[in-house]
Structure 1
Amino acid sequence: MFSAPDDPGTAARMRAAHAAACDALGVLPASPTCSGVVREAWGWRGRTLGGPVTGTHGPAWLRVAHSTVDKVGGRLWTGPEDAERLVPDSVPRPRLRRVRQWSERDDVYKAELYDRVMGVTPSPGPMLTCAPSLPTAWWSGLREALDLLSVVRTERTAVRQAYLDRAMPKYLGFLVGDPVCTTPPAWSTAHGDLHWANLVGPDIGILDWEGWGAAPAGYDAALLHAYSLAVPETARRVREELAPELDCDAGRFAELVVVTELLQSAERGDNTVLVPALKQRATEVWRAITGA
């Protein structure tokens, strides 16, 4: 999750859209916490807004996504509905129950009503800042979920080859040696945004399926590991628990892909504190690849 957008107009518009979605779907926002705080789950730069609601069928979660008319559609717009159709029920996630889409002049909104997950996320944001206490069954559940997802057949794409060809040489230029290969050893289906704010425990659950699709094999494990680097003990745990995905040629390549993406996002001001650790990890992976 992210913080509310800096632009008050965007925040007000999304809150109004969320209220309109509640009316349209016949649900009510959940009561504020005991401290009077209304729980809001914001997406990147206010593109989405979610929150707990209640209705005739019990507790639920309502998420509203926004797009302009000229950009509506694409993989992010259809991801949750595609996941509901194509991803096996055995992959633990909140089920999508109802969808409602509407337009207001140049703005398009989509409301998605989910079963509410009763677990908690290990972190309020993608990057981990303290070690989570997660049972052994959580880790085995995560491995099983990623295995099941990896073989799902889909035409969706989470990471594009054209992006790798363009971005990897640019953002991995600090590595010394032969030019970085940009062709993955293998592809598989990935969640595409597997960070700590998109996971729940103590029972494993995976949230936010808008960006799933084909990616370099090992991508999800590599992304979770990268977002753990600020907490070395958890980063080690991720490497141990997800070793089959990471400790291989495909996994090492996936780590370089993730470093590329996060170094690029750091240029926009996202997770800049991770930059030194990302470069150090890329250097370690590169040495393992090249034998240097």
Structure 2
Amino acid sequence: MSPPEEPPRRGEQAEVAAFRQALGLDALIDVHTHFMPERVMAKVWAYFDAAGPLVGRAWPIAYREEERRRVETLRGFGVRAFTSMLYPHKPGMARWLNDWAADFAARTPDCLHTATFFAEPSAPDDVRRALAQGARVFKCHLQVGGYDPNDPLLDDVWGLLADTGVPVVTHCGSGPVPGPFTGPAPVAALLARHPRLRLVVAHLGMPEYEDFLGLAERHERVLLDTTMAFTDFSESAAPFPPAALPRLSALADRVLLGTDFPNIPYPYAHALHALESTGLGAAWLRAVCHDNAARLFALPALP
């Protein structure tokens, strides 16, 4: 008989628990984690392994584990709610990805039911269907998808999402390399047409941090997530400007914890300590790591 399986990453659990306890937090909420169909995740990992054009550098996957163990790892870190960020890179993918995500959310109650879309004629129907299935957050990846957020095919999509207030986590910054529709200008044009969109700018808009801070300052429903920001890995290529920290502090109620788990090249705890290194203080960290997302998704208070 084989020995019982050890709890996943016990040392890391203790480190993350110490971080939470120092802030008086019983749990974390991570709005930028990836769960996908197995064959899709395998292709994503292979792309990272090959340092593909949208990666451009060695990027070892820290949590290359089967799905069940990845869920256990997040729970072991005290993450009470997380997402299953997934995204199509061509037409015809979004609906079956959304069906998979609906099933994943049904069997993973601590997952915030996630959906996606692509710039294609079926997009409005795909989004309506996902909303009817119970989607609570969408992922839009302008870099991988290579589409213009202002494509007329998406007009009804943005209208639906603005009307429902469902958040859309959007990779729109030009990191790690620019795409044809990344950067602040396409998003500024989108928000001019749909100012009620609850857009979550992934990666704090890396590397155009200050431009995306400006969009959040001008649009009260725009939020930002911290995915990979301030980590050694990101700071070496796209450092956050220290002079902009007061602006990030002033947006304390609209910044959300994101990590890119499991596709990160460092331990989960490093992402948390990187946020701590900003010096923005315990109240800011509590809001970012739990309270803002709990309010956004109307999660019940912890007992």
Calculate the TM-score normalised by the size of structure 1: 0.33
> Which of structures 1 and 2 has the bigger CA Rg?
1
Q: Normalized per residue, which structure has more helix?
A: 2
Calculate the TM-score normalised by the size of structure 2: 0.32
Q: Normalized per residue, which structure has more strand?
A: 1
Highest relative contact order (Cα 8 Å, sep 6+), 1 or 2? 2
